[in-house]
Amino acid sequence: MIILGIDPGFQYAGFSILKKEGQRVFLIEAGFLKMSSTEPLHHRVAKFHDFFHAKILAHTVTDLALETPFLGKNAQNFLKLGYLRGILYLLASQHSLALHEFSPTQVKLAVTGSGGASKEQVAYVVLKLFPRLEQPKKADVTDSLAVSLCGIWQNKNLTAR
């Protein structure tokens, strides 16, 4: 299993790629896609598609993990996030990927043991699980790692490396 976890966003999209071998989990890659807020929306959507399409091909991804969105203070942002989620659904279909979706509470509970954990608590646990990973510049990276781990752990817990 090679899982791509994504924390989508129009300015920063966090991602992580984990590989499950037997009972162990290995970090293949983690980072973020930075997009300019001055770039037209349709260009950013295309850039998002092309970036993740390339990651899927380069790493022979088998599974895609996403966090279900929640309606925050800005309904317009929630609506626009749907564009990116649509791209991810399309990529999952085109590449025959298993698609896993989790609520924010499910992800926090799986990673920290508390569904009400803060982003900092999630990041702390993720960094403990992957000690070679340096503190990322964006929380989107640790968020994507938490989503990837949730996707791998949905059946049973494994050892992260």
Choose among 153, 133, 154: nearest CA to 31: 133
Q: Does position 38 have pLDDT exceeding 70, yes or no?
A: yes
Residue 106 exposed, middle or buried by CB count within 10 Å (0-12, 13-18, 19+): middle
Q: What is the pLDDT of residues 95-130, one digit of tens each?
A: 999 999 998 889 989 888 888 888 888 888 988 998
134 is annotated as an active-site residue: no
Q: What is the pLDDT of residues 46-105, one digit of tens each?
A: 999 999 999 999 999 999 999 887 656 667 776 778 889 999 999 999 999 999 999 888
Q: Does position 37 have pLDDT exceeding 50, yes or no?
A: yes
Catalytic residue among 50, 101, 140, 143: 140
Task: Quote the pLDDT of residue 69.
Answer: 72
- CATH class name, domain 2-160: alpha beta
Q: How is residue 43 written in tokens?
A: 């260009």
Catalytic residue among 21, 29, 50, 67: 67
143 is annotated as an active-site residue: no
Q: What pTM was computed for the model?
A: 0.89
Residue 105 exposed, middle or buried by CB count within 10 Å (0-12, 13-18, 19+): middle
Q: How is residue 123 written in tokens?
A: 């990041």
Q: How is residue 37 written in tokens?
A: 């807020």
